[in-house]
Structure 1
Amino acid sequence: MIQQIYPQVQHDYQFELNKDMHIAAAHYIPHEDAGKCQNVHGHTYFVNITIAGDELDETGFLVNFASLKRLIHKRFDHTILNDHKDLFSEKDPTYFPTTEGVARAIYEVVQNDLDQKDNQPKCVQVFVRETPTSYVVYRPKKKKEGHR
């Protein structure tokens, strides 16, 4: 069983769920300053997705845990992350498949799916551990009132 303490994100929603999963994937960082990481190599990423909301769906779930696993694990496990051209770039460093980029990409995939749900849950945090000593937390910026 996976048990871990994560950084907490503050929010005012009634419900919060967290889904943990492992993803075995390879990647490389397409930049000369990335050192050995320019070469294809792999990790067993540990991912935690935090979703919050006030309304449950027609089944009594905020989000079905199994649907999150299908959405992320099925898409990324045993792949080369760089091959996901819809999420990662070879030219724009903001979209390199670094741990930061992986966390952002997972957020985008999850939130795009959540946006289709009637109960409108929100992905408030994605935690991605690349190695036993290194991890990234991605939290979407709150939209300012009056701005689109």
Structure 2
Amino acid sequence: MLQQMYPSVTHPFQFELNKDFHFAAAHYIPAEAAGQCSQMHGHTYFANITIAGNELDEVGFLVNFSLIKKLIHDRFDHTLLNNDSKFDQDDSARFPTSEIIAKTICNLVQEHLDTTLNRPVCIQVFLRETPTSYVIYRPKAGESYGS
């Protein structure tokens, strides 16, 4: 993957980790208002996850890069996202739009980070759906970041 700069998040932490990866997945938005996106189609998603914290683990990692990729790539690569339990066909707040996928990625990563002793936080997910379209998700203060 080519080096790319992403919008940065101002934060008070000493360490910041960014992990880039991609996954191929299909989805559809089960709503008439979604137009053509209501039909099943696929994307090669490119994601950048930003994690920050003050404490390193016993190995000297904020978090292992490979673990972040595994949490998301292994779950979503070559799947129909609509079939994943994190998305819901009857709740528009959980349709697999790029915005909701980015938020879901953040939540999945944070769920893992919450089990670690050094407790870093996921502060941003950048998700590119096409070469010209992307979303950025940052948890609200009081959700994960800053808690």
TM-score (norm 2): 0.95
The share of aligned pairs that are identical, in percent, is: 62
- In 1, the alpha carbon distance for the partners of 2:45 and 2:128 equals 6
- In 2, the alpha carbon distance for the partners of 1:59 and 1:24 equals 32
Post-superposition offset of 1:116: 0.1
Give the superposed CA RMSD.
1.2
Show the counterpart of 2:116.
Answer: 117
User: Which deviations, in whole Å up to 9, do the C-alpha atoms of 1:51-100 show, x marking residues without a partner?
Assistant: 00000000000000011111110010000100002x11112111110000
Consecutive unaligned residues in structure 2, runs of 5 or more: none
Runs of 4+ in 1 over 6 A off after TM superposition: none
Show the counterpart of 1:94.
Answer: 93
- In 1, the alpha carbon distance for the partners of 2:64 and 2:78 equals 23
Show the counterpart of 1:28.
Answer: 28
1:59 is paired with a residue whose SS is coil
The alignment status of 1:19 with 2:19, answered yes or no, reads yes
1:75 is paired with a residue whose SS is helix
Post-superposition offset of 1:2: 2.4
Show the counterpart of 1:56.
Answer: 56
TM-score (norm 1): 0.94
Aligned residues: 144
- In 1, the alpha carbon distance for the partners of 2:3 and 2:30 equals 34
Post-superposition offset of 1:143: 1.3
Show the counterpart of 2:138.
Answer: 139
- In 1, the alpha carbon distance for the partners of 2:57 and 2:118 equals 6
- In 1, the alpha carbon distance for the partners of 2:135 and 2:72 equals 17
Consecutive unaligned residues in structure 1, runs of 5 or more: none
- In 1, the alpha carbon distance for the partners of 2:112 and 2:68 equals 9
